[in-house]
Structure 1
Amino acid sequence: MKAKNMITVLLLATAMTVTAQRKISVADLPPGAAEFIEKYFPGRTIAIAKKDWEHGEKGFEVILSDNTEVEFWKDGTWREIDGRGKPIPTDYIAPSIVAYVAKNYPNEKITHIDYGHKDVDVDLTGKIDLEFTKDGKFLKAD
């Protein structure tokens, strides 16, 4: 009986994962998403585009040809960018955040930024985690 329950749980988890993310064409991305990628990630192409329901909100996830992950809200604004350990471009990041990192961590580069509901989380190359308010004021380092 336990094996049957375990198989049921695994099948349900797989079905939920498939439902949570569905591949789409680049044309199905929200307005502005493809243009954002062209502007801030020149020379990289979209390898995979998916609809993604994270935290109950419909959004979009894009994997670029260099394995960078870009997530967008349903209105096409960026939500999270993950260079997966590699530095990411910073022209779209609040100038106060970029300036804080340059001043306080001059030898580090931003590799990940997550614009959440309450704050902005930033990861640096030296495994340093920073937290800022939505308007770019420094809160803390982890």
Structure 2
Amino acid sequence: MKNFRKITGALVLLFLLAGGLIFAQDKAINANQLPKTAKVFLSTHFKGIAIGSAIEDREIYGVDEYQVYLANGTKVEFDSKGNWKEVDGKHQKLPSGFIPASIRNYAAKNFPNTYIVKIEKERWSYKAELSNGLDLEFDRNGNFKKIDD
């Protein structure tokens, strides 16, 4: 009886995982299908840089995120509402307008001759990668926490 329960539990788990993989999928979309917030972000901070491709990441419950690849190689990830989550310049200097001033100022003051090439906004923190390879962590208010290894 115990083996039957284990096998049944394993099969149920397998079906749930398989169902999640079937329904979770990436779909190429037209840039016009991005949420308005994402379109405004791109036109404001990456004006004149064409969108190479846009991908909608769907989960069972709906859209999880959007990934946008710009013609200059930059990758921008947005949440389901179009708010930026991560901007990766692929070793290119990022425009600074959307980066919190405290993070920009800390990086400029403490690491002159470098620039931010990637920034990630998490629920309670920010992570910024500098052109020299250092990863800096900040709290959600933009106060420096530590250098990440």
- Using the size of structure 1 for normalisation, the TM-score is 0.82
RMSD of the TM alignment (CA)? 2.4
Task: Please tell me whether residue 138 in structure 1 is matched to residue 144 in structure 2.
Answer: yes
Runs of 5+ unmatched residues, structure 2 = 1-20
Tell me which residue corresponds to 1:114. 120
Tell me which residue corresponds to 1:41. 46
SS at match of 1:130: strand
| Superposition pairs of residues 56-95 of structure 1, within 5 angstroms | 58-95=64-101
Q: Distance in 2 between matches of 1:138 and 1:102?
A: 13
Q: Which has the larger radius of gyration?
A: 2
Q: Distance in 2 between matches of 1:92 and 1:132?
A: 15
Runs of 5+ unmatched residues, structure 1 = 1-15
Q: Distance in 2 between matches of 1:26 and 1:42?
A: 14
Tell me which residue corresponds to 2:57. 52
Percent same amino acid among aligned pairs?
34
Letter in 2 for 1:52: D
Aligned length: 129
The runs of at least 4 consecutive aligned structure 1 residues that moved more than 2 Å come to: 16-20
Shift in CA distance, 17/121, structure 1 to aligned 2, threshold 3 Å: farther
